[in-house]
Amino acid sequence: MLARLRFPEPESRGRRYPELPHPYRNSFQRDRDRIVHARAFRRLENKTQVFTPGFSDHFRNRLTHTIEVAQLSRTLAGVLDLDQDLTEALALAHDIGHPPFAHAGEAELDLQMRRFGARFEHNLHSLRIVETFEQRYARFPGLNLTFEVREGILKHSRDFEPGDNPAAEEYLPGLRPLIEAQLIDLADETAYNTADLDDGFEAGLVDLDSIAGAVPAFAAILESVEMQYPGAVDRVRFLEALRLLIDTLMTGLIQGTAAAAGESGVRCPDDVRAHPTRLARFTPESAATSVELKKLLHTRVYNSPALDAGRTRSRRMIAELFQHFVDHPDRMPEPHSTMAQEQPLHRVVCDYIAGMTDGFFLRCYDRNS
Protein backbone atom coordinates (compact mmCIF):
# COMPACT_ATOMS: atom_id res chain seq x y z
CA MET A 1 0.00 0.00 0.00
CA LEU A 2 2.18 2.86 1.27
CA ALA A 3 5.45 0.97 1.81
CA ARG A 4 7.27 3.75 -0.10
CA LEU A 5 6.26 6.18 2.65
CA ARG A 6 7.31 3.94 5.55
CA PHE A 7 10.11 5.51 7.55
CA PRO A 8 13.18 3.22 7.24
CA GLU A 9 14.32 2.53 10.80
CA PRO A 10 18.06 2.21 9.90
CA GLU A 11 17.89 5.82 8.64
CA SER A 12 16.82 7.20 12.01
CA ARG A 13 18.58 10.42 13.03
CA GLY A 14 19.29 8.52 16.21
CA ARG A 15 19.39 9.37 19.89
CA ARG A 16 20.70 12.48 21.63
CA TYR A 17 23.19 10.30 23.55
CA PRO A 18 24.56 7.54 21.25
CA GLU A 19 23.98 3.96 22.39
CA LEU A 20 25.13 0.56 21.12
CA PRO A 21 22.53 -1.34 19.10
CA HIS A 22 20.53 -4.06 20.86
CA PRO A 23 21.03 -7.66 19.66
CA TYR A 24 17.38 -8.31 18.78
CA ARG A 25 15.29 -5.14 19.18
CA ASN A 26 15.55 -2.24 16.73
CA SER A 27 15.53 1.40 17.88
CA PHE A 28 11.77 1.92 17.59
CA GLN A 29 11.03 -1.32 19.47
CA ARG A 30 13.36 -0.17 22.24
CA ASP A 31 11.64 3.24 22.31
CA ARG A 32 8.25 1.52 22.64
CA ASP A 33 9.55 -0.56 25.56
CA ARG A 34 11.08 2.49 27.25
CA ILE A 35 7.74 4.29 27.06
CA VAL A 36 5.88 1.34 28.60
CA HIS A 37 8.41 1.24 31.48
CA ALA A 38 8.20 4.97 32.16
CA ARG A 39 6.60 6.20 35.38
CA ALA A 40 4.51 8.74 33.45
CA PHE A 41 3.04 5.86 31.44
CA ARG A 42 1.91 3.99 34.56
CA ARG A 43 0.34 7.16 35.92
CA LEU A 44 -2.10 7.15 32.98
CA GLU A 45 -4.06 4.49 34.86
CA ASN A 46 -5.11 7.06 37.42
CA LYS A 47 -5.85 9.91 35.05
CA THR A 48 -9.36 10.67 33.84
CA GLN A 49 -10.21 10.17 30.18
CA VAL A 50 -13.78 11.54 30.25
CA PHE A 51 -15.61 9.97 33.19
CA THR A 52 -14.04 10.28 36.63
CA PRO A 53 -13.66 6.96 38.53
CA GLY A 54 -16.76 7.69 40.65
CA PHE A 55 -19.02 6.85 37.68
CA SER A 56 -18.04 3.25 37.12
CA ASP A 57 -15.09 0.89 37.43
CA HIS A 58 -15.25 -0.23 33.82
CA PHE A 59 -15.21 3.09 31.97
CA ARG A 60 -12.04 4.11 30.16
CA ASN A 61 -9.21 5.78 31.96
CA ARG A 62 -6.30 7.34 30.08
CA LEU A 63 -4.33 4.07 30.15
CA THR A 64 -7.07 1.88 28.67
CA HIS A 65 -7.75 4.63 26.11
CA THR A 66 -4.04 4.59 25.21
CA ILE A 67 -4.14 0.80 24.74
CA GLU A 68 -7.12 1.20 22.41
CA VAL A 69 -5.29 3.83 20.36
CA ALA A 70 -2.20 1.57 20.18
CA GLN A 71 -4.31 -1.35 18.94
CA LEU A 72 -6.01 0.71 16.22
CA SER A 73 -2.68 2.29 15.21
CA ARG A 74 -0.92 -1.06 14.82
CA THR A 75 -3.72 -2.26 12.55
CA LEU A 76 -3.53 0.92 10.45
CA ALA A 77 0.25 0.69 10.11
CA GLY A 78 0.01 -3.01 9.24
CA VAL A 79 -2.61 -2.57 6.52
CA LEU A 80 -0.86 0.48 5.04
CA ASP A 81 2.63 -1.15 5.12
CA LEU A 82 4.05 1.47 7.46
CA ASP A 83 6.40 0.99 10.42
CA GLN A 84 4.31 -0.71 13.12
CA ASP A 85 6.90 -0.26 15.86
CA LEU A 86 7.25 3.48 15.31
CA THR A 87 3.46 3.81 15.13
CA GLU A 88 2.95 1.78 18.30
CA ALA A 89 5.59 3.74 20.23
CA LEU A 90 3.90 7.00 19.24
CA ALA A 91 0.43 5.70 20.15
CA LEU A 92 1.61 4.55 23.58
CA ALA A 93 3.21 7.96 24.21
CA HIS A 94 0.47 10.13 22.70
CA ASP A 95 -1.22 11.10 25.99
CA ILE A 96 1.75 10.77 28.34
CA GLY A 97 1.77 14.53 28.96
CA HIS A 98 -1.87 14.78 29.94
CA PRO A 99 -2.52 16.47 33.30
CA PRO A 100 -5.08 15.20 35.86
CA PHE A 101 -8.81 15.66 35.10
CA ALA A 102 -8.65 15.36 31.32
CA HIS A 103 -9.41 18.43 29.20
CA ALA A 104 -10.63 20.43 32.19
CA GLY A 105 -7.16 20.02 33.70
CA GLU A 106 -5.42 20.97 30.48
CA ALA A 107 -7.62 24.04 29.95
CA GLU A 108 -7.16 25.26 33.52
CA LEU A 109 -3.37 24.81 33.55
CA ASP A 110 -3.22 26.73 30.27
CA LEU A 111 -5.37 29.51 31.76
CA GLN A 112 -3.11 29.73 34.81
CA MET A 113 0.03 29.85 32.64
CA ARG A 114 -1.41 32.65 30.49
CA ARG A 115 -1.45 34.87 33.59
CA PHE A 116 2.36 34.67 33.36
CA GLY A 117 2.54 35.11 29.59
CA ALA A 118 3.19 31.38 29.07
CA ARG A 119 1.14 28.38 27.90
CA PHE A 120 0.48 24.77 28.82
CA GLU A 121 0.31 22.41 25.85
CA HIS A 122 0.22 18.68 26.49
CA ASN A 123 2.37 17.65 23.51
CA LEU A 124 5.17 19.96 24.61
CA HIS A 125 4.75 18.62 28.11
CA SER A 126 5.04 15.04 26.80
CA LEU A 127 8.35 15.99 25.22
CA ARG A 128 9.61 17.44 28.52
CA ILE A 129 8.65 14.20 30.27
CA VAL A 130 10.57 11.92 27.90
CA GLU A 131 13.50 14.37 27.63
CA THR A 132 13.90 15.49 31.22
CA PHE A 133 11.51 14.33 33.92
CA GLU A 134 11.92 10.57 33.57
CA GLN A 135 15.11 9.77 35.48
CA ARG A 136 15.96 6.10 34.95
CA TYR A 137 19.40 6.02 33.33
CA ALA A 138 22.83 6.69 34.80
CA ARG A 139 24.24 8.14 31.57
CA PHE A 140 21.54 10.59 30.50
CA PRO A 141 18.37 12.39 31.59
CA GLY A 142 15.03 11.25 30.17
CA LEU A 143 14.48 8.18 28.01
CA ASN A 144 16.93 9.12 25.21
CA LEU A 145 14.36 8.26 22.52
CA THR A 146 15.10 8.44 18.80
CA PHE A 147 14.57 11.71 16.94
CA GLU A 148 11.58 10.32 14.99
CA VAL A 149 9.71 9.28 18.15
CA ARG A 150 10.38 12.64 19.83
CA GLU A 151 9.33 14.48 16.68
CA GLY A 152 6.14 12.39 16.48
CA ILE A 153 5.31 12.99 20.16
CA LEU A 154 5.60 16.73 19.60
CA LYS A 155 3.86 16.99 16.23
CA HIS A 156 1.29 14.14 16.05
CA SER A 157 -1.67 16.43 16.65
CA ARG A 158 -0.42 19.83 15.51
CA ASP A 159 2.14 21.37 13.19
CA PHE A 160 4.75 23.89 14.30
CA GLU A 161 6.10 26.76 12.22
CA PRO A 162 9.64 28.10 12.69
CA GLY A 163 9.64 30.50 15.65
CA ASP A 164 6.45 29.09 17.21
CA ASN A 165 8.22 27.56 20.18
CA PRO A 166 11.91 27.25 21.09
CA ALA A 167 11.36 23.60 22.14
CA ALA A 168 10.09 22.76 18.65
CA GLU A 169 13.01 24.34 16.76
CA GLU A 170 15.05 21.14 16.46
CA TYR A 171 12.09 19.07 15.21
CA LEU A 172 11.85 20.40 11.64
CA PRO A 173 9.27 23.15 12.22
CA GLY A 174 7.41 24.06 9.05
CA LEU A 175 7.42 20.43 7.91
CA ARG A 176 4.68 17.82 8.43
CA PRO A 177 5.33 14.86 10.74
CA LEU A 178 5.95 11.39 9.27
CA ILE A 179 2.88 9.51 8.03
CA GLU A 180 3.16 7.14 11.04
CA ALA A 181 2.77 10.13 13.37
CA GLN A 182 -0.03 11.69 11.33
CA LEU A 183 -2.12 8.53 11.71
CA ILE A 184 -1.95 8.67 15.52
CA ASP A 185 -4.11 11.78 15.67
CA LEU A 186 -6.92 10.14 13.68
CA ALA A 187 -6.59 6.77 15.45
CA ASP A 188 -6.94 8.78 18.68
CA GLU A 189 -10.07 10.50 17.33
CA THR A 190 -11.59 7.15 16.26
CA ALA A 191 -10.76 5.56 19.60
CA TYR A 192 -12.23 8.31 21.77
CA ASN A 193 -15.31 8.97 19.64
CA THR A 194 -16.34 5.31 19.76
CA ALA A 195 -15.23 4.69 23.36
CA ASP A 196 -16.98 7.81 24.65
CA LEU A 197 -20.11 6.70 22.82
CA ASP A 198 -19.79 3.31 24.55
CA ASP A 199 -19.27 4.81 28.02
CA GLY A 200 -21.98 7.43 27.35
CA PHE A 201 -24.41 4.66 26.43
CA GLU A 202 -23.52 2.72 29.57
CA ALA A 203 -24.02 5.89 31.65
CA GLY A 204 -27.48 6.40 30.10
CA LEU A 205 -26.54 9.70 28.41
CA VAL A 206 -27.24 8.47 24.85
CA ASP A 207 -29.54 5.70 23.58
CA LEU A 208 -29.97 3.91 20.26
CA ASP A 209 -32.53 6.45 18.96
CA SER A 210 -30.48 9.54 19.81
CA ILE A 211 -27.35 8.09 18.18
CA ALA A 212 -29.21 6.91 15.06
CA GLY A 213 -30.89 10.33 14.79
CA ALA A 214 -27.58 12.19 14.91
CA VAL A 215 -25.30 9.82 12.97
CA PRO A 216 -26.81 8.44 9.70
CA ALA A 217 -24.00 5.86 9.29
CA PHE A 218 -24.87 4.46 12.73
CA ALA A 219 -28.57 4.35 11.78
CA ALA A 220 -27.77 2.25 8.68
CA ILE A 221 -25.52 -0.08 10.67
CA LEU A 222 -28.15 -0.46 13.38
CA GLU A 223 -30.79 -1.39 10.82
CA SER A 224 -28.61 -4.23 9.51
CA VAL A 225 -27.91 -5.40 13.08
CA GLU A 226 -31.65 -5.43 13.83
CA MET A 227 -32.33 -7.53 10.73
CA GLN A 228 -29.65 -9.99 11.74
CA TYR A 229 -30.42 -10.18 15.48
CA PRO A 230 -34.10 -9.19 15.89
CA GLY A 231 -34.32 -10.61 19.42
CA ALA A 232 -31.17 -8.99 20.84
CA VAL A 233 -31.54 -6.59 23.78
CA ASP A 234 -30.65 -2.90 23.31
CA ARG A 235 -27.22 -3.17 24.92
CA VAL A 236 -26.14 -6.04 22.66
CA ARG A 237 -27.56 -4.34 19.55
CA PHE A 238 -25.60 -1.24 20.55
CA LEU A 239 -22.36 -3.18 20.97
CA GLU A 240 -22.82 -5.02 17.65
CA ALA A 241 -23.40 -1.68 15.92
CA LEU A 242 -20.49 -0.01 17.72
CA ARG A 243 -18.12 -2.72 16.53
CA LEU A 244 -19.19 -2.12 12.91
CA LEU A 245 -18.93 1.63 13.41
CA ILE A 246 -15.28 1.28 14.47
CA ASP A 247 -14.71 -0.85 11.37
CA THR A 248 -16.38 1.74 9.12
CA LEU A 249 -14.26 4.58 10.52
CA MET A 250 -11.04 2.58 10.32
CA THR A 251 -11.78 1.49 6.75
CA GLY A 252 -12.53 5.12 5.88
CA LEU A 253 -9.21 6.18 7.40
CA ILE A 254 -7.26 3.52 5.49
CA GLN A 255 -8.96 4.35 2.18
CA GLY A 256 -8.79 8.11 2.71
CA THR A 257 -5.08 8.00 3.54
CA ALA A 258 -4.22 5.68 0.64
CA ALA A 259 -6.17 7.93 -1.76
CA ALA A 260 -4.60 11.16 -0.46
CA ALA A 261 -1.12 9.68 -0.67
CA GLY A 262 -1.82 8.51 -4.23
CA GLU A 263 -3.19 11.87 -5.41
CA SER A 264 -0.38 13.86 -3.79
CA GLY A 265 2.35 12.14 -5.76
CA VAL A 266 4.57 11.75 -2.65
CA ARG A 267 7.20 9.05 -3.11
CA CYS A 268 9.19 8.88 0.14
CA PRO A 269 9.07 9.97 3.81
CA ASP A 270 10.86 13.24 2.98
CA ASP A 271 8.09 14.05 0.48
CA VAL A 272 5.52 13.43 3.24
CA ARG A 273 7.34 15.92 5.44
CA ALA A 274 7.58 18.51 2.66
CA HIS A 275 3.96 18.13 1.48
CA PRO A 276 1.92 21.27 2.32
CA THR A 277 -0.88 19.28 4.00
CA ARG A 278 -1.20 16.13 6.07
CA LEU A 279 -1.91 12.98 4.08
CA ALA A 280 -3.51 10.88 6.83
CA ARG A 281 -7.22 11.54 6.48
CA PHE A 282 -10.67 9.98 6.44
CA THR A 283 -12.70 9.59 3.24
CA PRO A 284 -15.27 12.43 3.00
CA GLU A 285 -18.08 10.07 4.19
CA SER A 286 -16.19 8.77 7.22
CA ALA A 287 -14.97 12.29 8.03
CA ALA A 288 -18.63 13.40 8.14
CA THR A 289 -19.49 10.49 10.45
CA SER A 290 -16.62 11.42 12.76
CA VAL A 291 -17.84 15.04 12.92
CA GLU A 292 -21.43 13.92 13.62
CA LEU A 293 -20.24 11.68 16.42
CA LYS A 294 -18.24 14.50 17.94
CA LYS A 295 -21.22 16.87 17.86
CA LEU A 296 -23.47 14.29 19.51
CA LEU A 297 -20.88 13.58 22.20
CA HIS A 298 -20.44 17.27 22.93
CA THR A 299 -24.16 17.87 23.44
CA ARG A 300 -25.16 14.66 25.16
CA VAL A 301 -22.01 13.51 26.99
CA TYR A 302 -19.23 16.08 27.48
CA ASN A 303 -21.61 18.96 28.22
CA SER A 304 -24.10 16.88 30.20
CA PRO A 305 -24.88 18.18 33.71
CA ALA A 306 -23.42 14.91 35.07
CA LEU A 307 -19.94 15.73 33.75
CA ASP A 308 -20.18 19.52 33.87
CA ALA A 309 -20.35 19.74 37.66
CA GLY A 310 -17.20 17.64 38.10
CA ARG A 311 -15.35 19.69 35.50
CA THR A 312 -16.14 23.01 37.17
CA ARG A 313 -15.02 21.60 40.52
CA SER A 314 -11.76 20.19 39.08
CA ARG A 315 -10.88 23.51 37.43
CA ARG A 316 -11.50 25.44 40.64
CA MET A 317 -9.28 23.07 42.64
CA ILE A 318 -6.45 23.24 40.08
CA ALA A 319 -6.61 27.06 40.10
CA GLU A 320 -6.46 27.07 43.92
CA LEU A 321 -3.56 24.62 44.20
CA PHE A 322 -1.63 26.44 41.45
CA GLN A 323 -1.93 29.74 43.35
CA HIS A 324 -1.07 28.01 46.63
CA PHE A 325 2.28 26.75 45.28
CA VAL A 326 3.04 30.08 43.59
CA ASP A 327 2.57 31.72 47.02
CA HIS A 328 4.41 28.94 48.90
CA PRO A 329 6.97 27.24 46.61
CA ASP A 330 8.64 25.68 49.66
CA ARG A 331 5.55 23.51 50.15
CA MET A 332 6.35 21.60 46.96
CA PRO A 333 8.58 18.57 47.60
CA GLU A 334 12.10 18.16 46.23
CA PRO A 335 13.25 18.49 43.48
CA HIS A 336 10.45 20.96 42.63
CA SER A 337 11.14 23.42 45.43
CA THR A 338 14.82 23.62 44.43
CA MET A 339 13.96 23.91 40.75
CA ALA A 340 11.75 26.87 41.66
CA GLN A 341 14.92 28.80 42.55
CA GLU A 342 16.44 28.19 39.11
CA GLN A 343 13.46 28.30 36.71
CA PRO A 344 10.36 30.49 36.39
CA LEU A 345 8.14 29.57 39.34
CA HIS A 346 4.93 29.26 37.28
CA ARG A 347 6.62 26.69 35.00
CA VAL A 348 7.78 24.58 37.94
CA VAL A 349 4.32 24.68 39.56
CA CYS A 350 2.69 23.79 36.24
CA ASP A 351 5.06 20.83 35.68
CA TYR A 352 4.45 19.57 39.22
CA ILE A 353 0.64 19.68 38.92
CA ALA A 354 0.63 18.35 35.32
CA GLY A 355 2.49 15.23 36.45
CA MET A 356 -0.07 14.38 39.14
CA THR A 357 -2.64 11.62 38.82
CA ASP A 358 -6.23 12.53 39.77
CA GLY A 359 -5.83 10.65 43.08
CA PHE A 360 -2.51 12.28 43.99
CA PHE A 361 -3.91 15.69 43.10
CA LEU A 362 -6.89 15.23 45.45
CA ARG A 363 -4.65 14.09 48.33
CA CYS A 364 -2.29 17.00 47.68
CA TYR A 365 -5.21 19.45 47.55
CA ASP A 366 -6.56 18.16 50.87
CA ARG A 367 -3.16 18.43 52.54
CA ASN A 368 -2.70 22.01 51.36
CA SER A 369 -6.10 23.51 52.01
Residues that bind Mg ion (CB under 5 A): 95, 188
Nearest approach in angstroms of CB 287 to Mg ion is 19
Strand partners, 15: 146
Nearest approach in angstroms of CB 192 to Mg ion is 6
Contacts of 290 (CB under 8 A, 6+ apart): 189, 190, 193, 249, 282
Nearest approach in angstroms of CB 97 to Mg ion is 11
Which residue lies nearer to Mg ion by CB, 34 or 94? 94
Which residue lies nearer to Mg ion by CB, 9 or 159? 159
Nearest approach in angstroms of CB 291 to Mg ion is 18
CA atoms within 13 Å, Cβ hemisphere of 73: 30
CA nearest neighbour of 280 among 148, 172, 187, 163: 187
Which residue lies nearer to Mg ion by CB, 83 or 95? 95
Which residue lies nearer to Mg ion by CB, 71 or 337? 71
Nearest approach in angstroms of CB 191 to Mg ion is 7
Q: Cα–chain-centroid distance for residue 147?
A: 19
Which residue lies nearer to Mg ion by CB, 73 or 146? 73
Which residue lies nearer to Mg ion by CB, 15 or 278? 278
SS3 207: coil
Which residue lies nearer to Mg ion by CB, 59 or 322? 59
Q: How far is residue 190's CA from residue 132's CA, in Å, rounded to a whole number? A: 31
Nearest approach in angstroms of CB 126 to Mg ion is 11
Nearest approach in angstroms of CB 159 to Mg ion is 18
3-state helix, strand, coil in the chain (%, to 5): 65, 0, 35
Nearest approach in angstroms of CB 27 to Mg ion is 24
Nearest approach in angstroms of CB 278 to Mg ion is 17
Nearest approach in angstroms of CB 120 to Mg ion is 16
Which residue lies nearer to Mg ion by CB, 192 or 201? 192
Q: Cα–chain-centroid distance for residue 166?
A: 22
Which residue lies nearer to Mg ion by CB, 110 or 285? 110
Q: What is the DSSP letter of 309?
A: H
Stated length of the chain? 369
Q: How far is residue 313's CA from residue 102's CA, in Å, rounded to a whole number? A: 13
Concatenate the DSSP letters of all residues of 184-198 into one string: HHHHHHHHHHHHHHH
Q: How far is residue 58's CA from residue 64's CA, in Å, rounded to a whole number? A: 10
Which residue lies nearer to Mg ion by CB, 189 or 240? 189
Q: How far is residue 215's CA from residue 207's CA, in Å, rounded to a whole number? A: 12
Phi-psi region of 14 (alpha: psi -120 to 50; beta: other; left: phi over 0): left
Pair 329, 292: CB distance under 8 Å: no
Pair 48, 103: CB distance under 8 Å: no
Contacts of 163 (CB under 8 A, 6+ apart): 173
Any alpha helices (H) in 99-157, and if so which ranges? Answer: 102-114, 122-128, 147-155
